[in-house]
């Protein structure tokens, strides 16, 4: 049972028990296993385990940043809605979306989310005494590409990127670029992803932030 949180609903507890039976021995570390179980629970699909990838120490880095007060920055309002309740129940992380900084109209050759994340990155990293944001990308591969470009150009890296954009245009390229970067990240290979899944991955880390043993 997690310290500081109310008891899980019996349906959730039973769901996780069944998921563990279905998955068997994954060989993942404890935090990685937590993330996988939440993704399976949210998707209803144990085969998602075949797509999940972690850079070394990604979960630990994200957990440490959340405990130290990092902002959670999302690409959509849907992703923000997926993570805000758990953020409030645990370490009270501030949840923002790149749309707060996005222009009303997309510039030619770009997208609102790409422009928004670049502006957000400048704004949110003015105070270097706070960890860089934990970034959730579930819908906007252009935002993921722009963030990686910004970091490559010398900007502060994210504490963690949960990179799971969904779809068929630009998605595979953005995930490939994330995989080849030095950026700490969690990603799903292929075309799978979405706001619910990035929220589930972040929620696993937020739940771990209030456990006695995490």
State yes or no: pLDDT of 211 exceeds 90. no
Question: In terms of DSSP bridges, do strands 52-54 and 185-188 run parallel, antiparallel, or are they unpaired?
Answer: antiparallel
Structure tokens at 184: 């700490």
Structure tokens at 149: 């470009």
Distance separating alpha carbons of residues 133 and 85, to the nearest angstrom: 18
Residue 5 is assigned to a structural domain of this protein: no
CATH code of the domain in which 21 resides:
3.40.50.10230
Length of the chain: 214
Residue 213 is assigned to a structural domain of this protein: no
Residue 147 is assigned to a structural domain of this protein: yes
Backbone Cα Rg of the chain: 16
Structural domain of residue 29, as residue ranges? 10-208
Distance separating alpha carbons of residues 57 and 190, to the nearest angstrom: 22
3-state secondary structure labels for all residues of the chain: CCCCCCCCCHHHHHHHHHHHHHHCCCCCCHHHHHHHHHHHHHHCCHHHHHCEEECCCHHHHHHHHHHCCCCEEECCHHHHHHHHHHHHHCCCCCEEEHHHCCCCCCCCCCCHHHHHHHHHHHHHCCCCCCCCCEEEECCCHHHHHHHHHHHHCCCCCCCEEEECCCCCCCHHHHHHHHHCCCCCEEEECCCCCCHHHHHHHHHHHHHHCCCCCC
Q: What is the pLDDT of residue 213?
A: 43
Distance separating alpha carbons of residues 122 and 137, to the nearest angstrom: 18
Q: What is the pLDDT of residue 8?
A: 82
User: What mean pLDDT comes out for the span 169-190?
Assistant: 98
Kindly state the percentage of the chain with pLDDT values over 90: 93
Task: Tell me if 55 sits within 8 A of 184, measured CB to CB.
Answer: yes
Residue 4 is assigned to a structural domain of this protein: no
Handedness of CA 3, 137, 73, 123 (dihedral sign): positive
- Look at the pTM and tell me if it is higher than 0.75: yes
Residue 3 is assigned to a structural domain of this protein: no
Residue 95 is assigned to a structural domain of this protein: yes
Q: Which range among 35-39, 114-118, 125-129, 132-136 shows the weakest confidence by mean pLDDT?
A: 125-129
Angle formed by the axes of helices 58-67 and 30-43, nearest 10°: 90
Catalytic residues: 41
Residue 129 is assigned to a structural domain of this protein: yes
State yes or no: pLDDT of 212 exceeds 50. no
State yes or no: pLDDT of 3 exceeds 60. no
Q: On the CB side of 147, how many CA atoms lie within 13 Å of its CA?
A: 38
Number of domains the chain contains: 1
- What pLDDT digit, counting tens, does each position of 81-95 carry? 999 999 999 999 999
Residue 2 is assigned to a structural domain of this protein: no
Q: What is the pLDDT of residue 58?
A: 98
């Amino acid at each position: 049972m997690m310290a500081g949180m109310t008891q899980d609903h019996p349906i959730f507890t039973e769901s996780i028990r069944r998921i563990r039976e279905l998955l068997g021995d994954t060989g993942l570390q404890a935090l990685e296993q937590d993330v996988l179980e939440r993704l399976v629970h949210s998707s209803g699909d144990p085969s998602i385990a075949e797509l999940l990838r972690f850079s070394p120490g990604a979960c630990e880095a994200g957990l440490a940043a959340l405990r130290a007060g990092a902002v959670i920055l999302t690409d959509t309002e849907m992703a923000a809605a997926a993570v805000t309740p758990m953020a409030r129940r645990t370490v009270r992380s501030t949840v923002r979306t790149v749309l707060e900084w996005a222009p009303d109209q997309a510039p030619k050759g770009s997208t609102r989310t790409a422009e928004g994340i670049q502006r957000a990155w400048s704004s949110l990293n003015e105070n270097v005494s706070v960890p860089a944001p934990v970034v959730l990308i579930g819908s906007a591969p252009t935002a993921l590409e722009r963030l990686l470009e910004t970091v490559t150009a010398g900007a502060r890296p994210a504490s963690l990127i949960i990179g799971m954009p969904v779809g068929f245009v630009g998605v595979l390229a953005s995930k490939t670029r994330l995989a080849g970067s030095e950026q700490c990240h969690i990603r799903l290979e292929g075309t799978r992803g979405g706001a619910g899944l990035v929220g589930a991955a972040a929620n696993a880390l937020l739940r771990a932030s209030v456990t006695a043993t995490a």
